[in-house]
Amino acid sequence: MAGNNLTGSIPPEIGNATQIHVLDLSSNHLVGLIPKEFKRLTSLERLMLNGNQLSGRIPSEFGSLNDLEYLDLSTNKFNESIPSILGDLLKLHYLNLSNNKLAQAIPFKLGKLGQLNYMDLSHNSLEGKIPSEMGSMQSLVTLDLSHNNLSGSIPSSFEEMRGLSYVDISYNHLEGPLPNISAFREAPPERLKGNKGLCGNVRALLPPCNAHGSKKDHTVIFSVLAVFVLLSALFTIVFVIVQRKKKHQDTKQNHMHGEISFSVLNFDGKSMYEEIIRATEDFDSTYCIGKGGHGSVYIVNLSSGDVVAVKKLHLLWDGETEFQKEFLNEVRALSEIRHRNIVKLYGFCTHKRHSFLVYEYLERGSLAAMLSKDEEATELGWSKRVNIVKGLAHALSYMHHDCLPPIVHRDISSKNILLDSEYEACVSDFGTAKFLNPDSTNWTGAAGTYGYMAPELAYTMEVNENCDVYSFGVVTLEIIMGKHPGDLFSSLLSISSSSSSSSSSSSSSALAAHQIPIVDVLDQRISPPTHQVANEVVSLVKIAFSCLNSSPKSRPTMKQVSHFLSTQMLHLSKPVHMMTCGELLGLDPLGT
């Protein structure tokens, strides 16, 4: 019912629709209060009332909507405070209350929303301090608090929000240091301006935080510096003498072992290198948990109790100084990426004997391995599979559209999708990834895994985001079918591109593929999807077909795909068991 010029108020009788899962009344002309009868819609998962003229307070009765995952009340006239009861909606992953007249403080209970990915409270009249409890929102990716009256400093607990990639706190009264995470460090000026006295962001041209001390502080600092200079001179003399004695010994050791370049976040490089060698018994095959085109992966149990995955590279650095430099620059940049659906790269080591990467360890291994084993594949129900596709889409959208410069993975396949203990998908193996600088030509060179590579790579070596989109389509079908789609999509798509000269046998084969019922291509090891999940699964199949378009320019962007999966799904005109593959080719949910 969205965008239908509906007028008047929302009738209280809507509370009788107790089995409804999705309610979209957005972009209409509705006025008045939200009926208290909404508390009876306990099956509701998605509620969109944005773009109306609704007023009054946000009803506390929303607290009974325990299954709610998506709530958009933006661009209305809601006033008073944000009800703290919203913090009890633990399944919520999207919350948009922007462009209203909400006042008072942000409820600290919102920090309980551990699954929330997106929060927009901008363009209101919120005041007071940002609650430190919000630092517990580990899944948050996007946070917009701009255009409010918030004051005080940003809580230090925000430094734990490693998944945060977009933040806008402009036009408030905030002051003090920014949290030391990339979302704040790399935020452009327009997302930080209009505040009282923030400091610490070089990119936004904010002053360094030590520039805000008082004159008394400066006097103390200068006194300390004077003493420090004198002590430094003394220590320098001693240091030079000691270094001369050690020089000969160090030269011999470097000759024996070669230079070690090691960087691991939160660890001492040298001791970590030694511990990894010791823990894997010099990379003994016993600890190997996987092999790929660029290296072998080992599981490492550290003395701290942490478990990491170490990928030992096949690369040899001798005579490849420029390539080594380029590789290290890219790896250092990749180690700054923090997204819940991208495997965390903790660090790397380059050494004449061993070169390896240190990654986050994910318990359930690769998606390909899970789908290949019947017992494990049955654990991947349809809801989990839908979430895996969503996670992959969000990761690629982040890489293509939120990283500067954009990152093209170049080798998206089911082997490079890893799952954690909660079946959350994470993109791994950036061994062939390439940054696309706007002032340089796109990366050229063979990349990808056979069966997942875009068809245009057969006649051009130019790799861009469209290649990842195609690979995403293949992986999506693989998740839905439980196996690599093989020739299915080529048969389905061939009829639209077949010419009059094509053989009758190939045409009949394509027609037969078009008539295959959707339920027949779904993974037969689990029961067919029903209700809302069925809509989501069919939507994924359709999106996959769009991504597999033979024309790169006709494919959707990953930002379009990610947005569609987060905000809407196809509404089926008939039951899933009555739909054919050919029918989905005629639908275009993304408008590409």
Residues labelled catalytic: 411
Rounded to an integer, what distance in angstroms lies between the CA atom of residue 195 and that of residue 192?
7
Q: Decide if 158 contacts 131 (C-beta within 8 A).
A: no
Strand order in the sheet with 307-313: 261-264, 345-350, 356-360, 307-313, 295-301, 288-291
Q: Decide if 13 contacts 36 (C-beta within 8 A).
A: no
Judged by phi (left if over 0) then psi (alpha if -120 to 50, else beta), residue 183 lies in: alpha
Backbone angles phi, psi at 241, to 5 degrees: -65, -45
Q: Decide if 135 contacts 167 (C-beta within 8 A).
A: no
Q: What angle do CA 478, 479, 485 make, to 5 degrees?
A: 15
Q: What is the 3-state secondary structure (H, E, C) of 541-592?
A: HHHHHHHCCCCHHHCCCHHHHHHHHHHCCCCCCCCHHHCEHHHHHCCCCCCC
Confirm whether residue 36 is marked as ligand binding.
no
287 is written with which tokens? 């600890």
> What string of DSSP letters covers 178-224?
PPSSHHHHT--GGGT-S-SEEE--TTTTPPPGGGG--HHHHHHHHHH
Q: Where are the beta strands (DSSP E) in 433-494?
A: 434-435
- Count of beta carbons in the 10 Å neighbourhood of residue 220: 12
Rounded to an integer, what distance in angstroms lies between the CA atom of residue 471 and that of residue 367?
14
73 is written with which tokens? 């009340």
Q: How many Å separate Cα 298 from the centre of its chain? A: 25
Secondary structure class of 78 (helix, strand, coil)? strand
Rounded to an integer, what distance in angstroms lies between the CA atom of residue 254 and that of residue 265?
24
- The answer to whether the Cα torsion of 452, 458, 461, 467 is positive or negative is negative
Query: Strand 77-78 to strand 103-104: parallel, antiparallel, or no bridges (unpaired)?
Result: unpaired
Q: Decide if 500 contacts 481 (C-beta within 8 A).
A: no
Residues 6+ apart with CB under 8 A from 126: 82, 102, 103, 104, 105, 106, 145, 148, 149, 150
Q: Decide if 449 contacts 411 (C-beta within 8 A).
A: yes
Rounded to an integer, what distance in angstroms lies between the CA atom of residue 183 and that of residue 102?
26
Q: Residue written as tokens 């200079």?
A: 229
Omega cis (within 30) before 405: yes
Q: Where are the beta strands (DSSP E) in 292-336?
A: 295-301, 307-313
